[in-house]
Homo-oligomer: A and B are copies of this chain.
C-alpha cells in the first residue's frame, strides 16, 4: 500500500491516561501517519497536529465482562474505533485498553477474515538475542489441531511482514521435542504442519520446542493454545522480573556490591533495551479483516507511538492479504461457512 495510512486509536484504558496516548499519537502523526483518536476530548486537551480527536468518553476498558461490554456498549470508545476500521475510515486499529474488549469488538464488527476459524492474539516477546512471536496468548482458551495449524501460518506471515524475519522458523510448544510428545491436539497439529509447511516456502516448520527452548532462539514463531500461551508469557515476564530484581537487590546489599553494580550499569543498558516491553508495540490481533494492535495499558507515549508504527507497517506490508495467500497456498483455509462467532471467545490478559 502507498499513500497515507490511517490508524484508529482508542485512548481509553491506558494506565497513564488518555493524554499519554494522545502524545504517542502526536509522535506517530509527526512521522506521517494519520491518526483518528477516540477518547475523552476533555482529558486529551489540545488536539495534537495531525491527529483527529473524536470525542468518545465512554470507556469499557475495565469492564468485568469485556466481551459482553463490547457488544452492549455501542458508544464505547473501543467500539467506535473498531467501527471506523470496519467502515473503511481507518486502515488499522490500536488499543491500549482491555484485550478482551478489543478482540470481542473486532470479531463482532471487523469480522474474521475469510477462511479463518478463530482469531489469535500474538505477542512479540523481547528476549535478549532471540526475539520470538508467541501465539495464541489468550484469544481462545483451547485450540483444536486445525486452529493450531492456522495459528502457525498466521504467525509466520506476521513475523515476516512486521518483524522482518525473511524465513520464519515456526514451532509448536510441547513437553518434548519428539513429534509424539504433547496432547493429542498438539500431536495432530504437528502431523499436519510437517505435511504442509515445507511445501509453502518462506517458512520452516521446525517441530516441537520445549519450555527451555523458548528463550534460546530455537524458533521465531511459537504456537500454542491460549491457556498455555497466556501462562507461558506471564511466566516469562514474571521470571525475568524476579531474577533481575534479585540481581538488583544483590547489587545494593554491600558497599562493594554497590560499586560493582554501578560499574556494570552501562554494560547492562544494551541488554535492558533489548528486553524493553514497549519496543515491539504490543500484541497483534490476527485473523481479522484488518490489522489490530493491542498495546499494553502500562505503556508510555513511546509504546503507543510504536504500536501505531507497527500497525502502519502491517498495513503497508499487506499483512492481512499475505496471511490469506499463505493459508490458501498451504490449503489451510477453512472451507465451511463460519458460524460459531464471538461466543467461543474467552480472552484475557
CB distance from A128 to the nearest CB of B (A): 4
Contact (A267, B260) CB under 8 Å given A173-B231, A238-B212: yes
> Residues of B contacting A267 with CB < 8 Å?
250-251, 253-254, 256-257, 260
* A5 at interface by CB-CB < 8 Å: no
Interface string of A248-267 (1 = CB under 8 A from B): 01110110110111111111
Contact (A242, B127) CB under 8 Å given A257-B267, A259-B263: yes
* A333 at interface by CB-CB < 8 Å: no
Are the C-beta atoms of B231 and A176 separated by less than 8 Å? no
> Residues of B contacting A274 with CB < 8 Å?
246
Complex alpha-carbon distance, A239 and B271, angstroms: 14
CB distance from A185 to the nearest CB of B (A): 10
Complex alpha-carbon distance, A225 and B25, angstroms: 43
Q: Say which size band chain A's interface belongs to.
A: 35 or more
Name, among A212, A230, A249, the residue most crowded by chain B CB atoms within 10 Å (CB to CB): A212
Name, among A233, A241, A264, the residue most crowded by chain B CB atoms within 10 Å (CB to CB): A264
16 other contacts beyond A210-B234, A235-B235, with CB at 8 A cut-off? A127-B242, A175-B226, A181-B348, A210-B230, A211-B231, A211-B233, A211-B234, A212-B237, A213-B238, A216-B238, A228-B228, A231-B231, A236-B239, A243-B244, A254-B266, A257-B263
Residues of A within 8 A of B (CB): 127-130, 138, 141-142, 173-176, 181-183, 210-216, 224, 226-228, 230-244, 246-247, 249-251, 253-254, 256-257, 259-268, 270-271, 274, 348
